[in-house]
Amino acid sequence: MAAPVKLTIDGKAVEAAPGTLVIDAAKLVGINIPSFCYYEGLTLQAACRMCLVEVEKAPKLLAACTLPVAEGMVVRTETPVVAEARKYTLEFLLTNHPLDCPVCDKGGECELQDMVFRYGAGESRYSENKLHVDEKQWSPVVFYDGPRCILCFRCVRICSEGMGVGALGIVNRGAVSEIAPNHGDHLECDECGMCIDICPVGALTSGTYRYKTRPWEMDHVGTICTHCSNGCKTTLGVRNGQIIRGNNRDRSGINGEFLCIKGRYGFDFTDHPERLQSPLMRVNGKLEAASWSVALAAVAKKFSEVRARHGSFGVIGSTHTTNEENYYLQKFARSVLGTNHIDHHRSGDVVTLLDALSGTAGSLSTTADLYERKAVLVVGADLSSQQPFLAFQIRANYRHHQARVYVVTENEVREDGIAAATVRVDKGGELAGVHSLAEKLKTESELVIVFGDSIKGEAVRELVAFGNSLGIPVKYVALVDYSNSRGALDMGLVPELLPGYQPSNQPGMTVGEMLESESLEVLWVVGANPLESAAMKAKDAFVVVQEMFLTETAQRADIVLPAASAYEKTGTVTNVTGEVQRLKTGPSTMGAKPDLEIIGLIARDMGLAAAVGPWIADKVFEEIRATVKGYSVPMAIISAGGAAHTMPVNGRIPVESRPDLIHSSRDNLFTSGTLGRYSKMLGSVMEGRQA
């Protein structure tokens, strides 16, 4: 690395790497040079002129955002001349700004307000007419109020550079310039809302949040998105027990401020009118409301009765419930109910991957690796549609580090645009496609391979063998669908495996086999909807369902217990790359209980609480850390809201991974299984697309 450049900023000595911009160098010594258009990670604009600074020997003020550090440079960032220039720039900005701050969504967290406050430009000499254009709606998500716009072009850049979409551009010239969609009057984009959150003022507002609240009326709860498997942090704005907003402007998660439409706006299923708020019991063939104590007692009675005569229980777990709930559920099933018929919907062959990587270290990629490693190979997955954060990481890696991206897929994907090489294959031809890239990949110094559900079973072993043959360090990601799909496997929600990928060595039915079985006496479904697409053979089986909505499965239930969503409870979830993060309780829904509590209460009513232990998430997680292989993660990281990578199992897993059961749901950006059906925002975007 080249020797650092020495310079002085506001009298403080600074050492910065050559090429560092003065605006960034100043941060090293705690000096914040204001800016609107400069945005870390995006291309430079030098358009807003807020970062003008005095540089010794320069004839005029210079923009710190485009000025590289130079040896011996003397910079002053807050002289009277600089402060005056900023004050007048703000005065210019406010000439056509509507000053409707009292009703603006951004009021209270507006960068323009803060800047005016800082430089005291509260008084204006402007006495001409203001420009006005009417507000426009570009999509169910995105609204644009032109007069509020200060034209910093952050939205245009985050859309084209960050998202690889490029849906936004600039029309007109001069003071009447406006941001506009590149497709006439509407957006054709991911509806991710990045443009809205990056807007320093209230020019871009969202369909879910606009004119709903003042920012300071909300509590801000940083939790993990409950939709796909990427594990993005979403900060929920909660007011009076209701989620009003989702974003991650404090960049506190692995995703920085990235969120897709689901992470930002897909929370609205929580207060959907059809949300279950009371237990339901089947009376004379119809589901009727019942109290918790009656419903729980009925479940406990039935469970005790079937257990006493060693009847057959089937348990289907969830890909959205927490590690604690999954662990507790399988413990209850295996040790209390005495059944090994426990399963969930599997979407990726993590088991074979872990087995194939047995004996290696550092072969499992994190989401950070996708941003840092020099090359990435994407096999059989449309990342930008199904794994949006992983796609974002790869794009950012390409932009910031010139990473080489290789793509082997059946159809065109967004990653083609940044790919060093693309191979189009027929369905099932992915491995052959990967082999055709061997020579190119051997020239790389390191690689991350991301693969979808078309690579499973033996194909995973072949892929790992291919990786080993390259002679370079290779890391892997086996893609899975949902927020805790990975955790469900880790916690042993499959008949063949106990928590930590220990073989169970006991026979057990899979989801399909349970539905096919005619002798099943009790089917207990916790947060899943297997009957959406399949029928159940055991006509007389007693069905208990823990659910948020009256799904197809819940409609078949004898007892339905209303469950809390991931946003309404604590616990941990494990994302697609095996990073464990903690949920925090945002709002609460009257009548619903977390699944962990429901299971615990059933155990209590059966008089067997001691056998499963307390239904307190922290206590269960302690047990998981102590007993589940890979989960002895540092508590400090988890408690602080960070992501802790699980240790690799690093040992053979002598079970059949059942590739025949592995199928991704192929959710796209605007669908999310059951949850997506109950999200108004996701629904309205889908309707707009079909119309």
Complex with other proteins: residue 4 or 169, whichever CB lies closer: 169
CB of 149 to other proteins, least distance (A): 11
Cβ contacts of residue 533 below 8 Å, gap of 6+? none
CB of 462 to other proteins, least distance (A): 41
CB of 94 to other proteins, least distance (A): 9
Residues that bind other proteins (CB under 8 A): 44-49, 52, 59-61, 66, 85, 88-89, 92-93, 95-96, 125-126, 128-129, 131, 150-151, 169-170, 172-177
CA distances from 198 to 3, 32, 259, 624 (A): 35, 18, 11, 39
36's tokens: 């609107």
CB of 64 to other proteins, least distance (A): 13
Distance CA 542, CA 530 (A): 15
CB of 354 to other proteins, least distance (A): 46
CB of 264 to other proteins, least distance (A): 29
Contact assessment for residue 90 and residue 119, using Cβ atoms and an 8 Å cutoff: yes
Complex with other proteins: residue 112 or 448, whichever CB lies closer: 112
Complex with other proteins: residue 150 or 204, whichever CB lies closer: 150
- Only one residue has tokens 């090994």, namely 340
Establish how many alpha carbons lie within 13 A of residue 335's alpha carbon, considering only the half-sphere containing its beta carbon.
Answer: 14
Four-residue CA torsion sign, 334, 340, 341, 343: positive
Complex with other proteins: residue 117 or 687, whichever CB lies closer: 117
474's tokens: 């290779």
Complex with other proteins: residue 137 or 177, whichever CB lies closer: 177
Complex with other proteins: residue 52 or 544, whichever CB lies closer: 52
H helix runs in 332-363, sequence order: 350-356
3-class SS at 14?
strand
CB of 49 to other proteins, least distance (A): 6
CB of 136 to other proteins, least distance (A): 18
CB of 75 to other proteins, least distance (A): 17
Complex with other proteins: residue 48 or 536, whichever CB lies closer: 48
CB of 46 to other proteins, least distance (A): 5
Complex with other proteins: residue 84 or 656, whichever CB lies closer: 84
374's tokens: 């020099």
Complex with other proteins: residue 161 or 623, whichever CB lies closer: 161
399's tokens: 């932009």
CB of 139 to other proteins, least distance (A): 23
Nearest of 445, 455, 472 to residue 374 by alpha carbon = 445
Complex with other proteins: residue 32 or 172, whichever CB lies closer: 172
Four-residue CA torsion sign, 383, 386, 390, 392: positive
Complex with other proteins: residue 130 or 424, whichever CB lies closer: 130
Distance CA 330, CA 334 (A): 6
Question: CA-based angle 124:125:131, to the nearest 5?
Answer: 80
Complex with other proteins: residue 179 or 353, whichever CB lies closer: 179
Distance CA 329, CA 603 (A): 10
CB of 342 to other proteins, least distance (A): 58
CA distances from 585 to 209, 270, 571, 625 (A): 20, 13, 9, 21
Contact assessment for residue 75 and residue 7, using Cβ atoms and an 8 Å cutoff: yes
Burial 637-654 (b: 16+ CB within 10 A, else e): bbeeebbbbbebbeeebe
Q: In Å, how far from its chain's centre is CA 337?
A: 35
Q: Quote helix, strand, coil % in the chain, to nearest 5.
A: 35, 20, 45
CB of 40 to other proteins, least distance (A): 17
Complex with other proteins: residue 66 or 650, whichever CB lies closer: 66
Q: Is 147 left (phi over 0), alpha (psi -120 to 50) or beta?
A: alpha
Nearest of 685, 674, 663 to residue 226 by alpha carbon = 674
